[in-house]
Structure 1
Amino acid sequence: MHEPKSLKSEQGIEMLKQVRKLCASLPEVEEIIDGFGHTTFKVRGKSFIIMGENEGPAGLSFKSDRENQELLLHQGRFFKTPYIGHHGWVSIKADQPLDWGELGELLREAYMRAAPKRLVKLLQEQE
């Protein structure tokens, strides 16, 4: 895969490597650069991870539901994703140490929220 336009910092590129490693085990994941220059991971046309970098540190956003979003917001490390947070999306900045064990589970859950039932079942059977 090519290096994205949206992630240029050392933290952003390292974060992308970790996300790619996780997504490699998920069925039918597609990585694209969207119209806003964000690196987006999709399953069957539905986004579940969006990554980007503007003036500040690299950011990672993922699909959640409102209940889990509220729990994550109370931790203080997460915030409601601008523009799409009202749909349950959550973001974390890469300017702080990331717990890839916890984040991996959250990103896997994001995939299962976006994936068709058939792919969720396939993933569960692989476990």
Structure 2
Amino acid sequence: MGHDRQLVTKEGHAMLERVRQICAELPEVEEIVDGFGHITMKVRGKSFVLMGETEEGAGMSFKSDRETQHFLLQQNAGYIRTPYIGQHGWVSTKKGEPFDWEGLSELLKEAYLRAAPKRLAKLVQP
């Protein structure tokens, strides 16, 4: 999983390591760099987390559903609707703001469950 060159700041590397720790508990997660230069976590070819960095800071987007997306945006808790793919429920962290890792950990696991085939999802769900 050595795509650290895509994230150049200390903040970006820290984010990537935390996401790797969360994804290490999930079966068959693959880390790739997509055509846009984002570090992407996939399960069976389906993306569930995208990470990148701009001048504004490091950030990530994750697969969600519209109900959860609406709830997160209403809470104004550091999340925005992901440009271009937000209509499908994707949510992004606000760049330059601290991450709520406790909440993000659960949201990333839910993103995995949305992307994973049922057989793999059953291995994670109680």
TM-score of the two chains, using structure 1 as the length reference: 0.93
**1:19-64: CA deviation from partner (whole Å, max 9, x where unpaired):** 0000000000000011110000000000000000122211110000
1:99 aligned partner:
100
Aligned: 1:64 with 2:80: no
**Mapped contact 2:3–2:32 kept (Cα < 8 A):** no
Give the counterpart letter for 1:101 in structure 2.
E
1:75 aligned partner:
75
Report the number of matched residues. 125
Q: Give the CA deviation at 1:6.
A: 2.2
- What root-mean-square deviation, in Å, do the aligned CA atoms of Structure 1 and Structure 2 show? 1.1
Aligned: 1:44 with 2:44: yes
**Mapped contact 1:63–1:110 kept (Cα < 8 A):** yes
**116-125 or 104-113: bigger deviation:** 116-125
1:54 aligned partner:
54
Q: How many Å separate the matches in 2 of 1:3 and 1:64?
A: 24
**Mapped contact 2:3–2:39 kept (Cα < 8 A):** no
TM-score of the two chains, using structure 2 as the length reference: 0.94
Runs of 4+ in 1 over 3 A off after TM superposition: none
**1:69-91: CA deviation from partner (whole Å, max 9, x where unpaired):** 00000121100001100100000
**Mapped contact 1:15–1:94 kept (Cα < 8 A):** no
Identity, in percent, stands at 62
Could you tell me which runs of 5 or more consecutive residues in structure 2 were left unpaired when the two chains were aligned.
none
Q: Give the CA deviation at 1:94.
A: 4.8
Aligned pairs for 1:78-89 (under 5 A) are 78-89=79-90
2:91 aligned partner:
90
Give the counterpart letter for 1:109 in structure 2.
E
